[in-house]
Structure 1
Amino acid sequence: MNYPKFRKSAELFGVICGGLLISMPAIPQAVAQESTPKINPCPRIFYEEPHNNQVVVPQGCPPNALTQRLAAQGLLPVPATPSQEQTNLGVGGETPQPGVRVPVPSSGDQTQQPSTGAVSTEQPPLLQPRQTPSATIALANGTVNIKLVNDTATNVTFQVIGDTAPRSLAGKSDVTLQGLKAPVTVTFEREDGGQLIVTPQASSEPGNLNVTFNEATNAAQGRSAMRIEPNGSVFLN
């Protein structure tokens, strides 16, 4: 009888089965690791109304309409280019589908140099608006308290850029924002879509600014942002 051959076959079969048992637990673990979703810091809601025109996106995210508008006015730093991982994720944590355009900030128009023919992709610096300050206050250790007074009959949405989320201020009411470090930018918008007349006025106490909202009759009077510089100058846009 071929006992040696049978014994070798049994040993070989045992080695194969043992290897399969050892490798099997690793397969579900690998699948579980691959299925773990990545968290996108730039959710889709930033690019949908009304947030598209009311909320400033975090640094590194593709800019929405409000972020682009404030950056063009010199009220925000130039939006940073998103990381490759964020670009791959797209808006809302999804992989971009064919035909779907994910908003990605431009790195600046390419400028043709007539002398050498070289192409430059360097983005020119943003210029601050040249205008007379609407008010000037004396800061208290570089900080300011802002009292917002809504004299309109409708709610006003406001946001301290980089400090607070959008908040609602009811008509005929007020709120005080304390300890804001200059430079600071505040945006505001009537929830009924109308225009706002914004009147900043320095308080008698250092480091305090009163800002009053009134209804505007035309778009030329409307204002949607306020910037307080480290020297105490207050600009409206």
Structure 2
Amino acid sequence: MSMNKAESITKNFGPFGVIFGSLLVGISAIPLSSQAIPVPNVNACLSLSPEALANQGRANIARENCTVVAQAAPPLPEELQPPSATVVLVNGTVNVTLVNQTYTDITYQVVGDTEPRPLSGRDDVTLRTLRAPVTLTFQRPDRGLLLVSPQASEAGSLEVTLTETTDLDVDKSAMTIQETGEVFLN
């Protein structure tokens, strides 16, 4: 008979156990869902450009309530690395001799000046009177890596040797000559 009593107690408390168990789980979750989520302070002026405000006739509001913040710009190459070479410019120009020491063509371009041009393997070309600042790009058709080695040979002249490499750390595809004669590789 004690088995029957135990079975009847279990049967009677079965639905109550489910109900009270669910309540315990639900109650423990309530404090988590009611906690406030911190919201960072946002400068409301950042979403309003001076041009947009002026067009809407609210320029005075912008000047009174907002501080104009300069936009962040990525650092220039010369701020991140020392120059790879320095050449003395002659009247703001430089002659650049590209020497392809690979066995494959290399496509080069003077950005804003020329269309992409091929330079055959084991060949060279001299680009005359390039006005600084000037950027040159280099690319192998097989997407192989290039080691770009600029060397100032004399005033107004820069020799750039292009060789194959397997080292990703030295692979370069662009060269910029600044108005100061500093040469940077990217």
TM-score, L = length of structure 1? 0.50
The offset of 1:192, in angstroms, is 1.6
Q: Tell me the percent identity.
A: 50
The structure with the greater share of residues assigned to helix is 2
Structure label with greater radius of gyration: 2
Report what 2:156 is aligned to. Answer: 207
The offset of 1:125, in angstroms, is 3.4
Offset from partner CA, 1:7-65 (integer Å, 9 cap, x none):
xxxxxxxxxxxxxxxxxxxxxxxxxxxxxxxxxxxxxxxxxxxxxxxxxxxxxxxxxxx
The offset of 1:193, in angstroms, is 1.4
Report what 1:137 is aligned to. Answer: 87
The structure with the greater share of residues assigned to strand is 2
Structure 1 residues 180 and 116: alpha-carbon distance in aligned structure 2, compared to 1, 3 A threshold: same
What is the rounded CA distance, in whole Å, between the counterparts of 2:162 and 2:111 in structure 1?
Answer: 19
- Residue 64 of structure 2 corresponds to residue 114 of structure 1: no
Gapped regions of structure 1 (runs ≥ 5): 1-111
TM-score, L = length of structure 2? 0.63
Contact persistence 1:113–1:119 (CA under 8 A): no
Report what 2:105 is aligned to. Answer: 155
Structure 1 residues 219 and 118: alpha-carbon distance in aligned structure 2, compared to 1, 3 A threshold: closer
The offset of 1:120, in angstroms, is 4.8
- Residue 167 of structure 2 corresponds to residue 218 of structure 1: yes
Report what 1:229 is aligned to. Answer: 178
Contact persistence 1:157–1:191 (CA under 8 A): yes
CA RMSD of aligned residues (A): 1.9
The offset of 1:147, in angstroms, is 0.1
Gapped regions of structure 2 (runs ≥ 5): 1-39, 50-69
The offset of 1:219, in angstroms, is 2.0
What is the rounded CA distance, in whole Å, between the counterparts of 1:177 and 1:187 in structure 2?
Answer: 13
List 4+ stretches of structure 1 deviating above 4 A. 120-123
